């Protein structure tokens, strides 16, 4: 079973307001991400909260997700949020689909393709690539979870991917959406649906 871990614990410092709950069409940013994962065939979704916890949990109350809180969100960077999610997954889960909560432009076809590539190639990591740049969401097989959980600051998820680069199966995609997350008001103004 594949479960998505949605990393939604950031403090939205550069955005200036809780970006996960900003409007995105008829949904919120985080609601759009969850909807795309469901459309892409993901049945188990775990959202890791941190900053703006109450607002994010409220925005997700009508979605079929599990919530877990990262108590170290303020000082642990994305790595601790990722590790919190990984540690909280059910033992039946064989792989985690690592997804950014502030990436509402992700495409359901990319989600499906990443999952299918993982299942077909029996790879321990499948990472989408656009113009030779890695993006999200990507899959990590349970075989590498212990190594991921052993990482300590100042290591990052990028360091983990670089250390295990020889194990990555890349999936070339034709959309830059795998690279586009929302960090600033300018990002939001440029990317939001009109």
Domain boundaries, the chain: 2-191
Q: What's the whole-number mean pLDDT along residues 137-156?
A: 94
Rg (CA), the chain: 15
Residue matched to tokens 């300590």: 152
Distance CA 85, CA 155 (A): 17
Q: Which tokens hold the place of 87?
A: 């540690």
* Residue 142, φ and ψ in degrees, nearest 5: -55, -25
pLDDT at site 81: 95
pLDDT of residue 76: 65
pLDDT of residue 148: 95
Mean pLDDT of the chain: 94
Residues 19-34 have a mean pLDDT of 96
Please give the helix or strand (H or E) that residue 48 lies within, else none. strand 44-49
Residues making up the chain, counted from first to last: 194
Q: Model's pTM, two decimal places?
A: 0.95
Looking at per-residue pLDDT, the higher value among 17 and 89 belongs to 89
Place of tokens 């030779």: 132
Angle formed by the axes of helices 108-121 and 29-39, nearest 10° = 50
> Which residues does 146 contact at the CB level (< 8 Å), separation at least 6?
none
Q: What sign does the CA torsion over 69, 47, 127, 23 have? A: negative
**Superfamily (CATH) of domain 2-191:** Spore Coat Polysaccharide Biosynthesis Protein SpsA; Chain A (3.90.550.10)
């Amino acid at each position: 079973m594949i479960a998505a871990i949605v990393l939604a614990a950031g403090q939205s410092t550069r955005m200036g307001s809780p970006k996960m709950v900003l409007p995105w069409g008829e949904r919120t940013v985080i609601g759009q991400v969850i909807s795309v994962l469901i459309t892409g065939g993901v049945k188990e979704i775990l959202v890791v909260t941190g900053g703006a916890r109450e607002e994010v949990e409220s925005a997700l109350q009508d979605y079929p997700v599990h919530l877990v809180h990262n108590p170290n969100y303020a000082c642990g960077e994305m790595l601790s949020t990722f590790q919190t999610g990984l540690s909280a997954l059910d033992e039946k889960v064989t792989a985690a689909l690592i997804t950014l909560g502030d990436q509402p432009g992700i495409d359901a076809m990319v989600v499906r393709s990443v999952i299918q590539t993982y299942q077909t190639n029996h790879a321990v990591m499948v990472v989408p690539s656009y113009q030779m740049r890695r993006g999200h969401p990507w899959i990590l097989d349970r075989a590498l979870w212990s190594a991921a959980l052993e990482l300590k600051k100042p290591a990052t998820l990028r360091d983990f991917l670089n250390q295990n680069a020889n194990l990555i199966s890349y999936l070339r995609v034709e959309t830059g959406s795998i690279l586009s997350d929302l960090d600033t008001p300018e990002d939001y103004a440029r990317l939001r649906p009109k």
